[in-house]
Amino acid sequence: MANNVKPADEQIVTDSLPEVDDIELDDDLEKEFASPELEQIELVLPDSICGERLDKVLSKLVPQYSRARMQKWIEEGNVTVDGAPSKIKTTMLGGEKILIQPQVSPEDCAFSAEDIPLNIVFEDDHLIVLNKPAGLVVHPAAGNWSGTLLNGLLFHRPGQSSIPRAGIVHRLDKDTSGLMVVAKTLTAQTELVRQLQARTVSREYYALVWGQPNISGTIDAAIARHHRDRLKMAVSQSMFAKPAVTHYQRVATGNLEKFPVSLVSCKLETGRTHQIRAHMLSLGFPLVGDTLYGKQHLARFFHRQALQAWRLGLNHPATGDYQEWRIPLEADFAELLQQAAIEQPEV
């Protein structure tokens, strides 16, 4: 196989690039991205990098790979400097010849294609935007090793198997419906990951909650695994808690059999596991139908948590243009609002 020779640009941006491994991705997704390419990459370091450590230099020159992944390759001897293995913190002087042999982690491509219908809202050479139905698990994991969105993506486009996690960069809970974006190339995936870290991906949800919260507010409260129930997340001051920010606005109010409910629009800054569910519970307003966080005796009103990702906006990874997609509420959610005498919101 011929080497892929990539000339290094003398004009390197000196600011550190966002670290994929430090990103505020949805927590249940792997934060490192391996290259699907087995083709070697060869480059000669420019003089302008003099004084910088090896891993930082490579994260700038080969930005489609995370620094964490590059560090692992360096440690494993898959990166050589002037023909010899090196160390992560080795200082570069400029002029060194670098040879990188990307490695694929077996788990990154160990999934099978399944004929699962996908509701695709938009697709081009770089992205797939789809409307995930409630009941569909996004990614294989314990208890759901098949029948997932990832399996359906591999059937829809077999080329997704060459991208870690089949291009998935964020997730929705099994019983949450709505918009998701999937990358069709490694470059697009890396760019979307960086947009998530920069919090420039706009994700907005509709939730029906019990009670009547304030007209609007911001919940800036870190989230960690619940100290007693490991299936739950909770607002926490633990040293292991991760920052989480949700902006909410009450859209309308109604009643379900004389119990007050409110339709709330929630906009995420971060993507923590169960973020909206845990945040709204922390204010005393659990989601209708949420048997994990809500009131068990009221679960009869809805068969899942009343939560839908209805708006998604991002900068296209290839053109840089801002694009946005919106979808109406799912039929079951719309029927629930009708029962509560709440008019469906405009999208």
CA 137 to chain centre: 14
CA distance 239 to 318: 38
- Please list the active-site residues: 173
Please give the span between the terminal C-alpha atoms of the chain, in angstroms, as a whole number.
Answer: 51
Looking at this protein, which amino acid is placed at residue 24? E
| Bridge partners for 287 per DSSP | 209
Please give the angle made by the CA atoms of 234, 236 and 237, to the nearest 5 degrees: 175
DSSP 90: P
Cβ–Cβ under 8 Å, residues 251 and 273: no
> Could you identify the residue written with the tokens 């430090």?
22
CA 236 to chain centre: 22
Q: For residues 239-258, b (16+ Cβ closer than 10 Å) or e, as one string?
A: eebbebbbebebbbbbebee
CA distance 126 to 307: 28
Alpha helices in 62-99 (DSSP H): 67-75
CB atoms within 10 A of CB 32: 18
CA 247 to chain centre: 18
Please state the length of the chain.
347
CA distance 115 to 195: 31
For residue 20, give the 3-state DSSP assignment.
Answer: helix
Token digits of residue 112:
């099978």
